[in-house]
Amino acid sequence: MPECDVLVVGGGVAGLRAALAAQEAGARVALLSKTHPVRSHSAASPGGFNAALSTEDSAEQHAQDSAHASAGLCEFTALETLCEEAPQEALRLDHLGVPFTRTHEGALALRQLNGSRQPRAIFAADFTGHVVLHTLYEQLLKAQIPVYDEWCVTSLVVDCDQCQGVLAFELRTGDIAAFAAPAIILATGGAGRLYRRSTASRSCTGDGMSLAYRAGLRLVDMEMVQYHPLGFRAHRAFASEAALAEGALLCDMAGRPLLQPGSPVTRDALCRIMAETNGEQQKDGWFLLDMRPLGKDVIASHFQHLHRIANDLAGVNIDHEPLPVRPLAHRLLGGVETMLDGATALPGLFAAGECAWLGVHGANALAGNTLTTSVVFGRRAGAAAAAYARAARPTPLPEAVVNDQYARLHAIFSRPASEDTVARISHDLAALMDEYVGLVRDGSGLASAAEQLIALQERYARVGLRHHGKIYNAELLAFFELASLLDVAEAVIAAAQARKESRGAHYR
């Protein structure tokens, strides 16, 4: 295994930015990821990257809009840091070669996303996250940072109250290894797969949150599950809210607009409007996104990705007909409690991106802030981890920790297979979260969810695997991912029960 000062777990935008920053600070860096980095969920952030770049805008206005969207639950110091450092990170990405959309004069084009009073999101048509992810990965290759993709981390190695490494198994071989490093950065992404109706990629199973939780760290604001209003029918795809900002209409099934064009409504408020409209007027739960007011030229230049996937996945040509949409679970706004530099309460462990909590989003994330948060605080975590590693004394991991992991796998394989399966428990968990811990919640439903979750945890403790092979054992991977999802579900349900009020994404 590599000798490194900083080990980054996760290959999305936050992980890549952290790895580059750590190397720039003089550290030896390695990156470990469950998927290949360019398949990370960061690619699914279409709308833009918020940064106050225009003369009419400012970091103060950006912070005020974000604080208003957060329903007053944000940590303002973290929010100020985000807004002040966003412009320099935006220009850094531009200089690295991210192909952002530009005006006829050659300047960076800006679009106004929902909840913002100014156009402040730089963008690349409607696949901004995709091009940012690929550009950062190119820089990782240029920097010759070793990447270990298709490795699933199963636990943190904690000794003498310090995080000293991770245990992981390789999907393609089934080999188990210990990765030692003075500083570990968790950048594993979110846990959207808790929900069946979700925009999340298959890899979004809350691994980093669960690893930290089992190590005794706090998870904060876990009740805040943000929904995206423009999810596709029967698919995990979604349309960028930039469509509404640029003049598309969101209508009920009778064609009546829910909003005036360009209304500066936040994401949580729009989802509540849709939930209330659905209860009063509709029974099927679907709405219509009408892109036709934008015209074919704007659709072709700004929404080419939506045009293609709407046709491929939903069979809808948005040039000529509206697209059926509905709210889908989008991302968890809570995560592992961290400081502004990504440090957690466990020495040697840092976190960044969607698995980390700094209080930036509060009860609702401003559209366009998520990608910015990953880049800004990914850089800060990388630099801080490198500084920590310089002062830390490397400690070799004992061989016993790997042997313990082998014993754990043997115990899992020794369980007898039955009619119950990992896939069935995962399906039941997602259905449970959809029904009782979704967009609209109530006390009795949350109590029922807590009771049923205990039964799912008991089933998980008994379930056996049907496939015992080592090479690409998808059932074994799903087994570990389900453990993470059950941990995160427990935190989400408990936090939702504790917060009696309705605030932002928590609509009770």
466-469-471 Cα angle (round to 5)? 135
Please classify residue 445 by burial: count the beta carbons closer than 10 Å to its beta carbon, then call 0-12 exposed, 13-18 middle and 19+ buried. middle
Contact 423, 482 (CB under 8 A): no
What is the bridge-based pairing of β-strands 49-50 and 121-122?
A: antiparallel
Which residues touch 390 (CB under 8 Å, ≥6 apart)? 5, 26, 27
Cβ contacts of 105 within 8 Å, gap of 6 or more: none
Among this protein's residues, is 267 annotated catalytic? Answer: yes
Q: Which sign does the torsion angle of CA 478, 481, 487, 493 carry?
A: negative
**Distances, alpha carbon 119 to alpha carbons 53, 222, 230, 239, in Å:** 9, 30, 21, 19
Options 196, 236, 267, 379, the catalytic residue: 267
Backbone dihedral angles phi then psi of residue 457, each to the nearest 5 degrees: -65, -40
The CA distance from 23 to 399, in Å, is: 28
Look at strands 176-180 and 356-357 and give their pairing: unpaired
Instruction: Give CA–CA dist 384/24, Å, rounded.
Output: 11
**Residue 35 carries which DSSP code?**
S
Cα 335 to Cα 221, 353, 373, distances in angstroms? 7, 9, 13
CA R_g for the chain: 22
**Secondary structure element (H or E) that encloses residue 153, with its range:** strand 151-159
The rounded distance, in Å, linking the Cα atoms of 201 and 404 is 31
In the three-class reduction of DSSP (H, G, I as helix; E, B as strand; rest coil), residue 334 is classed as coil
Give the distance, in angstroms, between the CA of residue 248 and the centroid of all CA atoms in the same chain. 26
Write out the catalytic residue numbers: 267
